[in-house]
Amino acid sequence: MQVTAKNSADMRLGSLEELEKLRSELLAAEDPDQTKIIVCHGTGCVANDSPSVTKALKAALAAAGEDIKVMPGIKTTGCHGFCSRGPLVIIKPSNIFYQQVKPGDVEEIVQKTILTGETVDRLLYVHPQTGETLKTTEEIPFYSGQERVVLSNIGQIDPTDIEDAFKAGAYAGMAKALTNMEPGQVIEEVTKSGLRGRGGAGFPTGLKWSLAAKHQGGQKYVLCNADEGDPGAFMDRSVMEGDPHAVVEGMIIGGYAIGADTGYVYVRAEYPLAIKHLVKALDDARAHGLLGENILGSGFNFDIRINRGAGAFVCGEETALMRSVEGKVGEPVPRPPYPSDKGLFGKPSVLNNVETWANVSRILDKGADWFASLGTEKSKGTKVFALVGKVNNVGLVEVPMGISLRNIVMEIGGGVPGSDHFKAVQTGGPSGGCLPWEDADLPVDFDSLIAAGSMMGSGGMIVMDERDCMVDVAKYFLGFLEEESCGKCFPCRLGVPRLRETLNRFSKGQGTLEDIDDLYSLAEAIKAGSLCALGGTAPNAVLSTLRYFRGEYEAHILEHRCPAGVCKDLITYSIDPEVCTGCRACSRACPQGAITGEKKKPHTIEESLCIRCGMCMESCKFGAIQVI
Amino acid sequence: MLSLTIDGKKVEAEAGWSLLDTARQHGIDIPTLCYHEAVEPFGACRLCVVELKQGNNSRLVASCVYPAEEGLEVFTSSEKVNSVRRWILEMLLSECPASREIREMAGQYGVNTTRFEVKDPEEQCILCGLCVRACAQVVGANAISTVGRGAQKEIGSPYLVPGEDCVACGTCVTVCPTGAMGARFERVRGVPSVIMARPGK
């Protein structure tokens, strides 16, 4: 129901008291007996057609009409994180969790769960190891193992409805800061919380702010880095899609703390839903007087603009990002001067990433002490990871800092399909590195990851198994960075392609052990000599795989063998005649016509025709095809 | 005046000087490719890197953009510094083998051959961007820019067609450290309207 007046002038909230009054009115208007059906409309679930599920639900509820005592509300939310199981439907307040729901399942959900309170068992989650059927989100390790701070409202609120966000506590921290605290106290609070930037390097946020705040008066800016570009990472997208108000609120707090009146969100154009929800959040916040002039009667003026990035990875680097906002070519510039002294348009600026800003909102709401109680001594709070790759529960997870890799992958992630361990976990995106199973108990925090040769990065976490070749993985990330290098400084522009060329030779079984020594030397030169962090961290993929998987490199070079069976020049496919049933699935799948044989008799592969695409292996139901 | 040490020698610098300014003022040689007094320093070629030591920590910075600071300990030709320079020069030998300047500079660092594949034996351009910056900052014409990204990057006029913003002054050719711009000039040179009437207009 709509509590506030339609007239936008009347929607403006003039003080903290008015905001809190509206919040309690909205909460009081809630019907405690009403069931809520939550349908995930995050990008992953939308791609699996969750809007059709919502439509079918509305129709089914309307049809059931008179039989239902209290008509349930349907709420569409941002990403629940469990993307591999989408579309997701959750029934509140009991938290019954239905996965992979099709429009055809909806009638049964209404008839059984809504009308009689029974569950539809075939839609429930089954634990991949124990085979147990689990009914609610609380029972599912993917959710129960998490500690949701940044993601706490995502999947709970309708991100396009500011009133729903109010009910979940939005803008409480900001109202407190603007009304009851001096800017210096806000910075102190953030410093005390121990928050470190979630964008990659882990720079202390409070310190960053204080450097910009020390410039008295004059134009300053705060910026939000939403140019999330790591392969497989979607933390920031989900936050903007699912709880855009957390980002807006954090930026207002930051602007107030350093004395900036303008904020910019630099978001990649590939995130249309995030942009749509951000724009709506900004409009609604303006209408309620939470952006604009004299916010909540505090005398503080602040507004936010959105800049869409054209998809250059390097524009996630802070100085390149600022050049891009200025309308210039997105290339990094040397520091010093640091952005806190001379940033956007030459003015003192603070850039934090999406997750950092969202954390700021929570810290001001719940207090620095609460935040500092989470995580480890030097890495406070939680971190959101996009858990992808060879893991049962692909999705978005938020865990306290310091939790082990084993816990994230094997417990929350439900383990590796067909194996009791992972071969490697890649963290930190292209700047990060690969950590081996031997490091499974490594605490995941900023400093431990760097000591192990990887980094936290913005939160990509790619799980790999024995079928992933480490030479190939390093080659992939170098290829990515070669493509994305801006080309300004010589070590990165010239060096990264040379590293990749060397790895190319390895994956063809060429090269010598001396090449590995050269690789180390060139990698060090690129690390030490590059202008920005993109080049400075580019060799990490090679260095970390060499550190932990040197044997695999040597197998390529000395034995001309790819142990994982990936590098095409070093493998052959063959059919085990004992296992082959002659079903012909492989010969139909082969694009080269390289597989022949009589029906119901073992088939063979003509090696000279084979292009090693692996289609036969995928098509074989009997596991008869081997890679040597 | 600020006082610091370069290669163990005590030197003084005025506030606002870069490490490169300071070194050159005291006759200490640091090689550069993308640096020119006429334009703002760019920090791209990284040949001018020097090592800063603070206790047990050390890091490389580009001396053309790094400001002189009180008490800095600077090393202009440590092993770390020379390794970066040798790698850059060896890679440049494969990237722009036709440049005599690069061959000579590489020779000074003992780099006479390259282990990397030569793609274009005629290439001279090192993509230092001096031509672009001189055109923008000295001439004010902004007729050329770098086009593309990373390994695909090149120097060109908008849409890679000779542009009308070019006044054919030749500053880019003069400032080019390898002579590459001389060969490219016709591809970017426009027809200056102040000098010549444009046919059809």
| CATH code: domain of residue B70 | 3.10.20.740
Return the pLDDT at B162: 83
DSSP A217-284: SS--EEEEEE---STT--HHHHHHHH-HHHHHHHHHHHHHHHT-SEEEEEEETT-HHHHHHHHHHHHH
Claim to verify: residue B63 and residue B85 sit in the same structural domain: no
Tell me the average pLDDT of chain A. Answer: 94
Claim to verify: residue A322 and residue A436 sit in the same structural domain: no
Angle at A251 between CA A250 and CA A253, to 5 degrees: 65
Which pair of structure tokens corresponds to residue B162? Answer: 């000779």
**Quick one: which H or E segment has residue B172?**
helix B171-175
How buried is residue A458: exposed, middle or buried, by Cβ count under 10 Å (0-12/13-18/19+)?
buried
C-alpha dist (Å) from residue A148 to A106, A242, A369, A374, A396: 29, 13, 17, 11, 11
Return the pLDDT at B200: 52
Tell me the nearest-neighbour CA distance from A214 into chain B, angstroms: 20
Among B123, B150, B180, the domain-final residue is: B123
Which pair of structure tokens corresponds to residue A450? Answer: 């760097």
How many other CB atoms are found less than 10 A from the CB of residue A332? 25
Q: Which residues contact A566 (CB under 8 A, 6 or more apart)?
A: A467, A468, A469, A472
Burial A229-242 (b: 16+ CB within 10 A, else e): bbeebbbbbbbbbb
Q: What is the mean pLDDT of residues A596-608?
A: 92
> What CATH number has the domain bearing residue A429?
3.10.20.600
A517 touches chain B (CB under 8 A): no
Q: Is the pLDDT of residue B114 over 90?
A: yes
Domain, as residue range, for A406:
382-464
Are A8 and A87 a contacting pair, CB within 8 Å?
A: no
Distance CA B81, CA A183 (A): 44
Identify from B87, B115, B130, B154 which residue to disrupt to test chain A contact, counting A C-beta atoms within 10 A and taking the largest count. Answer: B87
Which pair of structure tokens corresponds to residue A485? Answer: 């290098």
Packing angle between helix A354-366 and helix A244-258, nearest 10 degrees? 80
**Interface contact flag, A493 B151, Cβ < 8 Å:** yes
How buried is residue A328: exposed, middle or buried, by Cβ count under 10 Å (0-12/13-18/19+)?
exposed
pLDDT in tens, A471-525: 999 999 999 999 999 999 999 999 999 999 999 999 999 999 999 999 999 999 9
Nearest to B46 by CA among A334, A481, A539, A479: A334
Task: Give the N- to C-terminal CA distance of chain A in Å, as an integer.
Answer: 65
Tell me the nearest-neighbour CA distance from A413 into chain B, angstroms: 37
Q: How many helices (H) and strands (E) does chain B have?
A: 6, 7
Which pair of structure tokens corresponds to residue A584? Answer: 């012909």
Claim to verify: residue A233 and residue A319 sit in the same structural domain: yes
**Is A208 part of a structural domain of the chain?**
yes
Angle at B68 between CA B66 and CA B73, to 5 degrees: 100
Among A502, A528, A558, the domain-final residue is: A558
The conformation of residue A627, written as its DSSP 8-state character, comes to: E
Distance CA A58, CA A97 (A): 18
Q: Is the pLDDT of residue A248 over 80?
A: yes
> What CATH number has the domain bearing residue A498?
1.20.1440.230
pLDDT in tens, A524-561: 999 999 999 999 999 999 999 999 999 999 999 999 99
Claim to verify: residue B36 and residue B97 sit in the same structural domain: no
**Quick one: which H or E segment has residue A425?**
strand A424-427
Distance CA A339, CA A346 (A): 8
Residue B194's pLDDT band (cuts 50, 70, 90): low
Claim to verify: residue B17 and residue B52 sit in the same structural domain: yes
> What CATH number has the domain bearing residue A602?
3.30.70.20
Edge to edge, the sheet with strand B49-54 lists: B9-13, B2-6, B73-75, B49-54, B57-62
Q: Is the pLDDT of residue A437 over 50?
A: yes
Return the pLDDT at A4: 46
Claim to verify: residue B90 and residue B135 sit in the same structural domain: no
**Is B199 part of a structural domain of the chain?**
no
**Is B85 part of a structural domain of the chain?**
yes
φ, ψ at A94 (rounded to 5°) = -75, -10
Q: Which residues contact A327 (CB under 8 A, 6 or more apart)?
A: none
**Interface contact flag, B65 A334, Cβ < 8 Å:** yes
Domain, as residue range, for B101:
78-123
Among A535, A558, A581, the domain-final residue is: A558
Residues of B with CB under 8 A from a CB of A: 42-47, 49, 59-60, 62, 65-67, 80, 83-84, 87-88, 91-92, 95, 115-117, 126-127, 129, 145-146, 148-153
Residue A141's pLDDT band (cuts 50, 70, 90): very high
Return the pLDDT at A3: 46
- Residue A164 in 3-state DSSP? helix
Longest dimension (CA), chain B: 69
For chain A, give the number of residues.
628
Distance CA A221, CA A265 (A): 11
**Is A326 part of a structural domain of the chain?**
yes
Claim to verify: residue B11 and residue B73 sit in the same structural domain: yes
Claim to verify: residue B71 and residue B85 sit in the same structural domain: no
Q: Is the pLDDT of residue A290 over 70?
A: yes
Return the pLDDT at B164: 82
Least confident of A240-249, A416-425, B188-197: B188-197
Query: The dihedral of CA A562, A567, A569, A571: what is its sign?
Result: positive
Of B43, B80, B145, the CB nearest to A334: B43
Which pair of structure tokens corresponds to residue B16? Answer: 């606002």
Name residue, tokens 């009115």: A25
pLDDT in tens, A192-212: 999 999 988 899 999 999 999
Nearest to A57 by CA among A69, A32, A74, A71: A74
- Residue A86 in 3-state DSSP? coil
Claim to verify: residue B145 and residue B106 sit in the same structural domain: no
**Quick one: which H or E segment has residue A125?**
strand A125-126
Cβ contacts below 8 Å, chain A against chain B, sum to 90
Are A444 and A454 a contacting pair, CB within 8 Å?
A: no
**Interface contact flag, B91 A498, Cβ < 8 Å:** yes
Claim to verify: residue B142 and residue B175 sit in the same structural domain: yes
**Is A564 part of a structural domain of the chain?**
no
Claim to verify: residue A170 and residue A235 sit in the same structural domain: yes
Are A490 and B158 a contacting pair, CB within 8 Å?
A: no
Return the pLDDT at A5: 44
φ, ψ at B154 (rounded to 5°) = -150, 170
C-alpha dist (Å) from residue B165 to A511, B147, B186: 49, 16, 14
Claim to verify: residue B68 and residue B90 sit in the same structural domain: no
Are B26 and B11 a contacting pair, CB within 8 Å?
A: yes
**Quick one: which H or E segment has residue A484?**
helix A470-484
**Is A6 part of a structural domain of the chain?**
no
Q: Is A63 left (phi over 0), alpha (psi -120 to 50) or beta?
A: alpha
Claim to verify: residue A272 and residue A351 sit in the same structural domain: yes
Tell me the nearest-neighbour CA distance from B86 into chain A, angstroms: 9
**Is B16 part of a structural domain of the chain?**
yes
Claim to verify: residue A108 and residue A181 sit in the same structural domain: no
Nearest to A246 by CA among A226, A232, A262: A226
Claim to verify: residue A262 and residue A216 sit in the same structural domain: yes
Which pair of structure tokens corresponds to residue A39? Answer: 């349908």
Are A252 and A294 a contacting pair, CB within 8 Å?
A: no
Claim to verify: residue A433 and residue A535 sit in the same structural domain: no
pLDDT in tens, B45-89: 999 999 999 888 999 999 999 999 999 999 999 999 999 999 999
Of A487, A498, A530, the CB nearest to B116: A498
Contacts B91 to A, Cβ<8 Å: 490, 494-495, 498
Q: Is the pLDDT of residue B198 over 60?
A: no
ipTM > 0.90 for the complex: yes
**Is B54 part of a structural domain of the chain?**
yes
Claim to verify: residue A591 and residue A510 sit in the same structural domain: no
Claim to verify: residue A303 and residue A407 sit in the same structural domain: no
> What CATH number has the domain bearing residue A192?
3.40.50.11540
Q: What is the mean pLDDT of residues B132-136?
A: 96
Number of structural domains found in chain A: 5
Q: What is the mean pLDDT of residues A459-476?
A: 96
**Is A13 part of a structural domain of the chain?**
no
Claim to verify: residue B70 and residue B114 sit in the same structural domain: no
**Interface contact flag, B88 A334, Cβ < 8 Å:** no
**Is A21 part of a structural domain of the chain?**
no
**Interface contact flag, B62 A483, Cβ < 8 Å:** no
Distance CA A359, CA A254 (A): 11
Q: Is the pLDDT of residue A2 over 50?
A: no
Claim to verify: residue B87 and residue B33 sit in the same structural domain: no
Q: What is the mean pLDDT of residues A570-581?
A: 94
**Is B67 part of a structural domain of the chain?**
yes
Tell me the nearest-neighbour CA distance from B81 into chain A, angstroms: 8
**Is A344 part of a structural domain of the chain?**
yes
Claim to verify: residue A252 and residue A301 sit in the same structural domain: yes
**Is B53 part of a structural domain of the chain?**
yes
Q: Is the pLDDT of residue B159 over 90?
A: no
Q: Where are the beta strands (DSSP E) in A291-405?
A: 303-309, 349-353, 382-389, 395-400
- Residue A621 in 3-state DSSP? coil
Cα dihedral A313→A318→A322→A323 (10° resolution):
-60
Return the pLDDT at A69: 81
Return the pLDDT at B172: 94
Distance CA A327, CA A317 (A): 15
Identify from A328, A478, A490 which residue to disrupt to test chain B contact, counting B C-beta atoms within 10 A and taking the largest count. Answer: A490
Contacts B80 to A, Cβ<8 Å: 528
Number of structural domains found in chain B: 3
Contacts A485 to B, Cβ<8 Å: 149-151
**Interface contact flag, A494 B88, Cβ < 8 Å:** yes
Burial B95-121 (b: 16+ CB within 10 A, else e): bbbbbebbbebbeebebeebebeeeee
Claim to verify: residue B107 and residue B66 sit in the same structural domain: no
**Interface contact flag, B152 A312, Cβ < 8 Å:** no
Return the pLDDT at B185: 84
**Is A270 part of a structural domain of the chain?**
yes
Q: Report the percent of chain A where pLDDT is more than 90.
A: 90
Edge to edge, the sheet with strand A395-400 lists: A395-400, A382-389, A460-464, A424-427, A433-436
How many other CB atoms are found less than 10 A from the CB of residue A299? 9
Distance CA A405, CA A385 (A): 11
Claim to verify: residue A256 and residue A272 sit in the same structural domain: yes
Residue A364's pLDDT band (cuts 50, 70, 90): very high
Name residue, tokens 């003080």: A15
Q: Report the percent of chain A where pLDDT is more than 70.
A: 99
Residue A67's pLDDT band (cuts 50, 70, 90): confident
A148 touches chain B (CB under 8 A): no
Among A464, A497, A523, the domain-final residue is: A464
Claim to verify: residue A97 and residue A135 sit in the same structural domain: yes
Identify from A483, A488, A505, A514 which residue to disrupt to test chain B contact, counting B C-beta atoms within 10 A and taking the largest count. Answer: A488
- Residue A194 in 3-state DSSP? coil
